[in-house]
A and B are shown apart, each in its own frame.
Chain A
Amino acid sequence: MSIAAATALASALGFYLLLGVVFALYFIVFGVGRLVPAAKGSGIGFRLTIFWGAIILWPVLLFRLLKGPAELVPPRTWRRAHARIWMVLIPLVALGVMAALMLRPAAPLNDALPAGIMLEEASS
């Protein structure tokens, strides 16, 4: 990545988090209870716990504040999702691990170093 691209990426990240801080300040004072009525009147400790999440997850919270709370769906188990994730994860990781092992960089040694040069102990 070029310095320019890296700067753009880091700035975008910083900007996202800056917006997050501004949003989070609003959210922990007013938004907390608007989204979940049960959280109205909760203490400062709880609000500070929520603060960090509001910085990172602010787009979702903003969406929820605008669109209303999430629809109450009956809870379900996630066994099938777990199974699917492992079915993908195991072959992918196995492949990656094998590639990493086979292409381990082994510092190639020279048969001989040029004459007339001061040599040192490699371990020093």
Chain B
Amino acid sequence: MSHQFTPVQWNGFKWRYDAIVLFGTILFVAVFVGLTMASRQPGESLAPVQILIRAFGAAAFLLLNIILSIGPLARISARFKPLLYNRRHMGVWCFSLALTHAGLTLMWYQGFSALNPVVALFASNVQYTSIAGFPFESLGVAALILLAMLAVSSHDYWQAALGASVWKRIHMGVYVAYGLLVMHVMLGIVQEEKAEFYPASVIGLFCIVAGLHIFSAFTGRVTDRRVKASLDGWINIGPPDKIAENRAKIVRTESDARIAVFRYDGKISAVSNVCAHQNGPLGEGRIVDGCITCPWHGWQYRPEDGRSPAPFEEKISTYRVQIDGGMVYVHPDPLPPGTPTKPAVIDEAANV
């Protein structure tokens, strides 16, 4: 939102959210370290740094799987939407865990020599043509660089500075990082360890994350067929009472745009379904205090002109609407963002 930028706009929900994530991390690391030490066989000795390397690596990987599940979960059930709200803190935290894992590894395995540890890392393994000997470290480095780009650009400022589409492209890199990390784990610790638990859990986690994405894509699709405009160019979206008060109906046009048609105070207005903040689905939001409110992060727009209330300056496209013969019609051509449009009045139409 375009008022004064601050590092984090804290509130009670974010504090509780972050506290639970922090507690979960401590719990995971503590249980892992504690049980690794407790399950030690007589005569075996342990290196604390090496236990921590594993603990932080596993924690970061598990957290990334959780983070990637939130998006599709929120699509599948609205109950999960609050999880979306502070997801970026989890992302930055995930990167911090991965960085700790990488830092400890670099220090412990590649440090203590006359070579620069980074040089040592690049030079240490050359078996790129072998699966059994593959330098899985390089996959981790590549993923860490991608996660770093995501973490440092997670503040809303970056969307404005880089442009929404560059920003989004960078952040889609999380999927590339995820793929790299699955292989980093498979070619690293999974090849080292004998127990089937490790490959089984990596494959299981990947199947859950991929499955949730596929499932949510298909369930989204059923209610999301493209609607043809009639000959005069307007789309019939049915009678006004099919739209719940202060809610919207989403239509997908032939040119693949989504329009959110809101009903409020006996009026109908239509805006783009895509929020200017994180491209959230405005049509799944509701009218709060007279403004369309995005379900993801609560950004608001006036239904009449698609503009955020002062002091904010965001604008989204609006669409022309009319009511004719008891049916709501919307015109699929978007008006420039922030264009005032006349809402269709339901009662008046009923009187005609």
Contacts and interface: CB of A to CB of B under 8 A. Distances in A.
Do A and B share a direct contact in the complex (Cβ within 8 angstroms)?
A: yes
A86 B175 CA distance: 8
Secondary structure of the A contact surface, majority rule: helix
A42 B4 contact: yes
Interface stretch (B77-85, B117-125, B239-247): B117-125
A6 B123 contact: yes
Chain A: interface residue count, which band? 35 or more
A116 interface: no
Nearest to A56: B152
Contacts of B191: 100, 104-105
Nearest to A2: B123
A3 B275 contact: no
B76 interface: no
B161 A64 contact: yes
Nearest to A101: B199
A115 interface: no
Interface in A32-71: 32, 35-36, 38-39, 41-43, 45-46, 48-50, 52-53, 55-57, 60-61, 64, 69-71
A18 to B, nearest CB: 14
B214 interface: yes
A70 B163 contact: yes
A46 B119 contact: no
Nearest to B196: A101
Interface size class of B (residues with CB under 8 A): 35 or more
Contacts of B155: 46, 49-50, 53
A49 B258 CA distance: 34
B11 interface: no
A74 interface: yes
Interface in B189-207: 190-191, 199, 202-203, 206
Interface class of chain B by DSSP: helix
B313 interface: yes
B317 interface: yes
B258 A77 contact: yes
Nearest to B152: A53
A6 B116 CA distance: 10
B162 A70 contact: yes
Contacts of A99: 131
Contact of B164 (A10, A56, A60, A70): A70
A10 B119 contact: yes
Interface in B108-147: 115-116, 118-123, 126, 131-133
Interface stretch (B29-37, B48-56, B178-186, B285-293): B178-186
Interface string B318-352: 00000000000000001001000000000000000
Interface of B: 2-7, 43, 115-116, 118-123, 126, 131-133, 148-149, 151-153, 155, 157-158, 160-166, 168, 170, 172, 175, 178-179, 182-183, 186-187, 190-191, 199, 202-203, 206, 210, 213-214, 217, 220, 257-258, 272-276, 279, 281, 313, 316-317, 334, 337
Given A39-B160, A72-B337, 20 more contacts: A1-B123, A6-B121, A7-B116, A10-B116, A38-B160, A42-B5, A49-B7, A49-B157, A53-B155, A56-B149, A57-B162, A61-B162, A64-B163, A78-B172, A79-B217, A85-B172, A93-B183, A101-B186, A104-B190, A105-B133
